[in-house]
Amino acid sequence: MSKKLTVADKRQDKCIACPYDPLHRLMPERFALHLIRCAKNHPGSKMVRCPFNNTHLFSSDTLQHHVESCPDRAYFVRYTTPDKLPLPGPSTGKFFVESAEDWDAEPPAPTYNPEDHCRESFVIRNPQGASPSARRQFREQERRRFIENNKF
């Protein structure tokens, strides 16, 4: 049902058939507005909107097929999983650079290092798994470090 568009036949295909009435041929810019108006003339219609583009209307039994091949789905998937689908052509990466926020420019959040935190706040550390004598020695060492640091 949906045929592949090439640049050559793009002009002829510019007009879109109304899903409510195929005799309504519409320019893309008029299409969304027409759908709203035409829907009022077809209140019994079981048309369902495509989740990727709300101007895609289908009966519930053909929607499933459309969703699988919707041209807007590719953009959606590319947006949500940019790593899996590389952008075609030379515009690689442009999609995200256009965003007002440049995430790469954010300064990296300092990683929390419990060891550093410990040294800075002079908490007496209690090494796990060391022998009692080693632990005693360590505690003594820590106590001295603690006292020395508090002199100033």
13 counts as binding Zn ion under rule CB under 5 A? no
Interface segment toward Zn ion; rule CB under 5 A; list 9-17, 32-40, 90-98, 113-121: 32-40
21 counts as binding Zn ion under rule CB under 5 A? yes
Shortest spacing between CB 10 and Zn ion, in angstroms: 18
Interface segment toward Zn ion; rule CB under 5 A; list 54-62, 101-109, 116-124, 127-135: 54-62
Q: Using the rule CB under 5 A, which residue among 16, 47, 50, 78 binds Zn ion?
A: 50
Measure the CA–CA gap between 96 and 101, rounded to whole angstroms. Answer: 9
Q: Is 63 helix (H, G, I), strand (E, B) or coil?
A: helix
Shortest spacing between CB 112 and Zn ion, in angstroms: 45
38 counts as binding Zn ion under rule CB under 5 A? yes
Give me the residue label for tokens 């590319």: 78
Contact 46, 69 (CB under 8 A): no
Contact 19, 47 (CB under 8 A): yes
> What are the φ/ψ torsions at residue 40 (nearest 5 degrees)?
-65, -30
Measure the CA–CA gap between 74 and 95, rounded to whole angstroms. Answer: 13
Q: Which residues bind Zn ion (CB under 5 A)?
A: 18, 20-21, 24, 38, 50, 52-53, 56, 70
